[in-house]
Amino acid sequence: MIVLLFLAIPSFQLLTAQLTPPENPDLTLKATGNQWYWSYEYEVGETPLSFDSLMMKEEDRASLGKEDKHEYPRLLAVDNEVVVPIGKTVRVLVTAADVIHAFAMPAFGVKIDAVPGRLNETWFKAEREGLYYGQCSELCGKDHAYMPIAIRVVSEDKYKTWLAAAATNVGDANKALMASIDGAAKTVDVAANAAQ
Ligand SMILES: [Cu+2]
């Protein structure tokens, strides 16, 4: 009992911290799990931006400009990444459209169930630019292993440019963003995924 008590106190504190943003979020994102991909919605402006994010097929590497297998690993790379600004508190609302999934991003310390009919809330604040990968973490059917999560953390300027372009065409916005990152000196490529 005594040992359990000592474990319980910090555990509950950590649980609360994981679910409560430390300040008013700068951006709210909604992630919806589907069999078998994620769809995202940005709460921005009058019309929310929304798009689907599917695992990249190997044959699409060239057309997506994602030939670099270190940066875009097989089974983790997606067609459309979530793009967020660095150093901002991002609230993530997580739900599912069909069965239970789970939104997990180990490098951000985020893992939360995506339950149909229920809106779970978590948050993160990315401190390094780069491309981060996570996976669905609740067995959700035959393609459970093939619905990765990819979040790209970029500077505020790049985020704003991307957001404006994404309103018309997400695919083109992503290509322009990738080009602007490749053009600049790459300080961080695939960041901190070793934390997994
Ligand atoms: Cu799943």
Give the pLDDT confidence of 173-196 residue by residue, as tens digits: 898 899 888 765 554 455 556 544
Cα 112 to ligand 1 centre (Å): 12
pLDDT value at residue 87: 92
Phi first, then psi, for residue 39 (nearest 5°) are -120, 150
Confidence of residue 140 (pLDDT cuts 50, 70, 90): very high
CA atoms within 13 A on the CB side of 109: 10
Residue with token string 């372009």: 165
pLDDT value at residue 191: 54
Cα 116 to ligand 1 centre (Å): 12
DSSP annotation string for 87-106: T-EEEEEEEESSS-EEEEEG
Cα 101 to ligand 1 centre (Å): 4
Cα 98 to ligand 1 centre (Å): 10
Q: What is the mean pLDDT of residues 120-140?
A: 94
State yes or no: cis peptide before 38, omega within 30 of 0.
no
The residues placing their C-beta within 5 Å of ligand 1, an ion, are 101, 136, 140, 144
Phi first, then psi, for residue 186 (nearest 5°) are -80, 110
Closest CA to 151 of 86, 196, 195: 86
pLDDT value at residue 23: 86
Give the pLDDT confidence of 52-96 residue by residue, as tens digits: 999 999 998 988 888 888 889 999 999 999 999 999 999 999 999
What structural domains does the chain harbor? 25-185 (2.60.40.420)
Cα 24 to ligand 1 centre (Å): 29
Residues 86, 176 contacting (CB under 8 angstroms): no
Give the pLDDT confidence of 88-119 residue by residue, as tens digits: 999 999 999 999 999 999 999 999 999 999 99
Cα 113 to ligand 1 centre (Å): 10
pLDDT value at residue 146: 95
**Least confident piece of the model among 130-134, 143-147, 186-190:** 186-190
Give the number of other Cβ atoms within 10 Å of residue 104's Cβ. Answer: 19
Cα 34 to ligand 1 centre (Å): 7
What's the pTM value of the predicted model, to 2 decimals? Answer: 0.85
Give the pLDDT confidence of 16-66 residue by residue, as tens digits: 888 888 889 999 999 999 999 999 999 887 788 999 999 999 998 988 888
pLDDT value at residue 100: 96
Q: How far apart are CA 78 and CA 83, in angstroms?
A: 12
